[in-house]
Structure 1
Amino acid sequence: MTNPLSKLPKLRKHKASGQAVATLLGKDYYFGPYGSKAARAAYDRLLAEYLASGRSPAFGTRPDELTIIELIAAYSQFMKRYYGTSSSSEYHRIKSVLTVMKRLYGKTPAAEFGALQLKAVREMLIATKVTRGYINAQCHRVRRMFRWAVGEGLLGEERGAAILQVLAAVGPLKAGRTEAREAEPVEPVSSQLLEATLPHCTPVLADLIRFQLLTGCRPGEAIQVTPRMVDRSGDVWTIKLDKHKTAHRGKQRVLYCGPQAQAILAKYLLRGPDDVCFSPAESEAQRRQARTEARKTPPSCGNRPGTNRVRKPRRKPGKAFTTGTYGNAIRYACKRAGVETWSPNQLRHKAATEIRKQFGLDAASVMLGHSDLAITQVYAEADTEKALSVARKIG
């Protein structure tokens, strides 16, 4: 574990003046006579403020000197530490709009960024043909970055408050009132399309697809399941996820596995307790084996299986699927099947539609893990029973 006091500047004596001095982020700070209590207190105060900033690279920069590119660097460091670096984290989601901001206003003082500049960034996003909802979300992230900067004291109190007020005045793009395209609604994948795709998937990928459909979970939830998470004590297995959409709100996400989901999952439990059940490395090995078995060239001709593989490939399967690689694997299977492509989210919509049709909206809401903070805890037991009932019958 990193020592929080590591790589901090040392207090030293400036020989020419006799003052106590420390150099932080390339800037010298003088604290008065070396050896005095006042100098030590001022030095301690500087370090405390620096650590409170999260070791921000923008620490000590005057509000009128802070540029957009410096603000982005400081905020990116905070985002990486606070949200993590998973492919679905806010750290990655904000990157595209920050790239546009750096291109347009990288050297512009952050204190000069206002409504006109935010609208210019928005127009650049519209030109990239992303959806209206995505653009509105990215503009909200820009506002949040400036709100963070004000809270960190990087923009000055008065100017910072003025910037926040101006940026808040830029309303969201409205449907039918903008050139930004609308997102296509996510439709449930049809049974015909699903059945046409599965034969062209590896066994691991096919089982992952079926497992997600039977449990109604999100793609990011299905790919993270490990043996340690699975409780097999009841007739319906439960899976308590370590990471999920509402974990930061103190909520718990539980997947419910009925007989069909159990039959799928049982094949992947004999591994390390923290190894993912649905492994992309296993899926890739199955794909290669299938190609070898389908080979038409006689073994005596051409390359023997495995002889032409790169010893240290630049890209190799990760320890776990990401939502991106999971979606890509399905698209490749669709391409091999010669059918229309579909996404993992459509499996969740299909599950929601079928559960709602058979068991009602309440059961679908519980099974899919929808959360409403206004709902009181008195419904918890009844909700669990609904999910267990659904899992027993269709899971």
Structure 2
Amino acid sequence: MPRLTKKLPSYRLHRASGQAVVTLAGRDHYLGPHGTAASKAEYDRVLAEYLSNGRRDAAREASVSVGELLLAYLRYAEGHFTRDGKPTRHVDNIKDAIRPLRKLYSHTPAEDFDAAALKSVRKAMIDAGLSRNTANARIKKIKTLFSWAAEERLVSATVLHEIRSVRSLQRGRDGVRETAPVRPVPTEHVQAVLRFVSPPVAAMIQVQALTGMRPGEVMAMRAGDIARDGEVWLYRPRRHKTDYLGQGRVVFLGPKAQEILVPWIVEDPDAYLFSPKRYAEARRRASGRGAISRPRAVKRSFRERYQKNSYANAITLACQKAGIPAWGPNRLRHSAATSIRQRFGLEAAQSVLGHMDVKTTQIYAERHLERARDIMGEIG
């Protein structure tokens, strides 16, 4: 009888995605849009590699582990996501996202990581008490990791296709905890904390409430970043949330904000307006004490500028002293947005708060800035 030959794995349509697919050693390899010349050429390539390797999946056998992949990506992230030569907070967020991935799949070949595995990682996040929004954001970072790995040819396009097939958790459909919406701070609660915080913190609160700027923007204000040659001042933060997109940020400071800022402006253009260190030194001079001598164990040092936690903690402590529910500085931005939207409309709020789509034309952006200038001249 003639010898039977093994049938070659077939090129076929994956109906759910419209991709061409071939199954090698029990694993699907996606080749691109079905019926295209490119997908057929990719079929010939992966099939040739498969046959030359003795009908074994060479990609799987040569795969790095998930743990090795994570280390490589972190090295890349620490060099890529930097500001002033230092890794940004985004790197810490990546580390938070990949922690359950490392715990569950560190020794798994990266080529074997699939949609079911990613869902297991997500379930671990949910079991740890993360909200839907946080879990979705962290899974998105893991997807970005695998996109980078595919670009660097550390995993195959098949793995990336699997990862991308996992859909985000949906509100009200997946039984996952929802975060409470961020609400504006009642005006009376803002006023209540002012007498329980230091003068620089009180000034930051008031300026932020008037302008709707982000906490990081008000903490980083410097005299050299403020153009004071008009009725409405222009503050251009040196660093802001969307500067990596090439999107400029301008905060307009009206008469009320100017009145609050004037006492804090110093000659040095690079000095922070709201400096805990400078304020503490001024208090010592005013009291005639000079430098305070304290035991080393309790000696307190002050920074040149407030940090995210120190600003928020000062407000939380003041809320406790005032006997009101605690609120954070981010809610001041929502308060300003709500007030402006109610008086001037949604587009006006977007103009003042800097919520511009990066695809907006320059002409449209200039119209936003003019509108923002007019509004803050009236209310800020």
Does TM-score exceed 0.5, indicating one fold?
yes
Q: Which amino acid aligns with 2:217?
A: E
**What is the total number of aligned residue pairs between the two structures?**
320
The 5 A counterparts of 1:135-154 are 135-154=135-154
CA shift, 1:387, in A, is 1.3
TM-score, length-scaled by structure 1: 0.73
Q: Which amino acid aligns with 1:379?
A: Y
Is 2:57 the counterpart of 1:71? no
CA shift, 1:351, in A, is 0.5
Pairing partner for 2:160 from 161, 164, 168: 164
Deviates further, 250-259 or 175-184: 175-184
Rate the CA distance shift 1:68–1:194 in 2: closer, same or farther, 3 A.
Answer: same
The 5 A counterparts of 1:97-136 are 97-136=97-136
Deviates further, 266-275 or 315-324: 315-324
Separation of aligned partners in 1, 2:153 and 2:160: 13
Separation of aligned partners in 2, 1:335 and 1:77: 42
Aligned match of 1:258: 254
Aligned match of 2:78: 80
Separation of aligned partners in 2, 1:87 and 1:267: 34
Separation of aligned partners in 1, 2:320 and 2:188: 15
Is 2:306 the counterpart of 1:310? no
Partner of 2:296, secondary structure, is coil
Partner of 2:251, secondary structure, is strand
CA shift, 1:284, in A, is 6.3
CA shift, 1:385, in A, is 2.3
Separation of aligned partners in 2, 1:71 and 1:342: 40
Separation of aligned partners in 2, 1:200 and 1:208: 14
Is 2:356 the counterpart of 1:364? no
Aligned match of 2:42: none
CA shift, 1:65, in A, is 4.8
Assess if the C-alpha contact under 8 Å between 1:126 and 1:179 holds in 2.
no
CA shift, 1:283, in A, is 5.9
Q: Which amino acid aligns with 2:296?
A: V
The two structures, once aligned, show a CA RMSD in angstroms of 3.0
Deviates further, 235-244 or 110-119: 110-119
CA shift, 1:134, in A, is 0.8
Q: Which amino acid aligns with 1:82?
A: H
Pairing partner for 2:306 from 318, 321, 343: 321
Unaligned ranges ≥5, structure 1: 1-61, 293-304
CA shift, 1:231, in A, is 0.5
Aligned match of 1:96: 96
Assess if the C-alpha contact under 8 Å between 1:204 and 1:282 holds in 2.
no
CA shift, 1:380, in A, is 3.7
Unaligned ranges ≥5, structure 2: 1-59
Separation of aligned partners in 2, 1:80 and 1:166: 26
Rate the CA distance shift 1:218–1:87 in 2: closer, same or farther, 3 A.
Answer: farther
Q: Deviations over 1:316-362 (max 9, x none)?
A: 54433333332222112212222210011110111111112222222
Is 2:174 the counterpart of 1:188? no
Rate the CA distance shift 1:194–1:135 in 2: closer, same or farther, 3 A.
Answer: same
Is 2:270 the counterpart of 1:274? yes
CA shift, 1:126, in A, is 0.5
Is 2:233 the counterpart of 1:248? no
Partner of 1:200, secondary structure, is coil
Pairing partner for 1:384 from 353, 369, 378: 369
Is 2:204 the counterpart of 1:204? no
CA shift, 1:186, in A, is 0.5
Aligned match of 1:349: 334
Separation of aligned partners in 2, 1:346 and 1:168: 34
Rate the CA distance shift 1:92–1:171 in 2: closer, same or farther, 3 A.
Answer: same
CA shift, 1:232, in A, is 0.6
What fraction of aligned residue pairs are identical, expressed as a percent? 36
Q: Deviations over 1:269-324 (max 9, x none)?
A: 2153222222243466789999x9xxxxxxxxxxxx944443696x8544333333
Rate the CA distance shift 1:188–1:287 in 2: closer, same or farther, 3 A.
Answer: farther
Q: Which amino acid aligns with 2:94?
A: I
CA shift, 1:102, in A, is 1.7
CA shift, 1:212, in A, is 0.8
Separation of aligned partners in 2, 1:178 and 1:118: 16
Separation of aligned partners in 2, 1:94 and 1:284: 36
TM-score, length-scaled by structure 2: 0.76
